């Protein structure tokens, strides 16, 4: 078998087995994976979770780079026979997942060692949530984003949810 001109390596024959099993998690597996992850105390569970290393991640930040971003990870790596099913899925901060790569049997302390060093305060997470979702939903503290017209005093919202007072001042 010869490689294509300019190709750095010869083509590899695909294994029949790999063609039969999906490489990526389907929507149902991802939903179950998210639901199985630990919740973040005081945060809306559909928006925030903790990954296997205890890092806080935001559902809207899937497959991006950053300390609140995450990826769906094969616990047993796909390359080592792991299936793309909910039982073999965990959420991991993107950085942690990249360091884990195709390794098996990584304990929580090693995963934590790969984590972003940034720990966000509740106020910082509120600001992120406001920017991403347009409102903040926390037990006992739900608010919405004010429109520009509201801030200029040109409009009164019919939305019953109180506007958030962001950014926070020292008296908040």
Residue 167 tokens, joined: 């950014």
Give pLDDT < 50 ranges for the chain: 1-4, 7, 9-14, 18, 172
How many angstroms from the chain centroid is the CA of residue 162? Answer: 28
- Mind listing the pLDDT tens digit for each residue in 47-68? 999 999 999 999 999 999 999 9
Q: What pLDDT, on a 0 to 100 scale, did the predictor assign at position 157? A: 80
Could you tell me how far CA 23 lies from the centroid of its own chain?
A: 19
Q: What is the 3-state secondary structure (H, E, C) of the chain?
A: CCCCCCCCCCCCCCCHHHHHCCCCCCHHHHHHHHHHCEECCCCCCCCEEECCCCCEEECCCECCCCCCCEEEEECCCHHHCCCCCHHHEEEEEHHHHHHHCCCCCCCHHHHHHHCCCCCCCHHHHHHHHHHHHCEEEECCEEEECCCHHHHCCCCCCCCCCCECCCCCCCCC
Predicted local confidence at residue 33, as pLDDT? 98
Backbone phi, then psi, for 153, in 5-degree steps? 75, 15
Closest CA to 51 of 110, 108, 91, 103: 91
Its pTM stands at 0.75
Sort 129 into a burial class: Cβ within 10 Å, 0-12 / 13-18 / 19+: buried
pLDDT at 162: 77
* Confidence at residue 149, expressed as pLDDT on a 0 to 100 scale: 76
């Amino acid at each position: 078998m010869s490689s294509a001109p300019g190709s750095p390596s010869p083509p590899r024959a695909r294994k029949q087995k790999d063609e039969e099993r999906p490489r990526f998690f389907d929507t149902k597996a991802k939903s179950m994976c998210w639901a199985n992850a630990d919740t973040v105390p005081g945060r809306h569970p559909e928006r925030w979770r903790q990954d296997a290393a205890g890092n806080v991640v935001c559902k809207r930040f899937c497959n991006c780079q950053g300390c609140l971003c995450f990826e769906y990870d094969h616990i047993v790596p796909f390359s080592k026979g792991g299936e793309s099913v909910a039982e073999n899925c965990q959420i991991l901060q993107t950085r942690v997942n990249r360091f884990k790569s195709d390794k098996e049997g990584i304990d929580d302390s090693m995963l934590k060692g790969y984590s972003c060093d940034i720990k966000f305060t509740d106020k910082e997470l509120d600001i992120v949530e406001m920017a991403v979702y347009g409102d903040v939903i926390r037990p006992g503290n739900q608010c919405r984003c004010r429109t520009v017209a509201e801030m200029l005093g040109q409009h009164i919202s019919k939305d019953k949810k109180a506007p958030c007072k962001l950014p926070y001042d020292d008296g908040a």
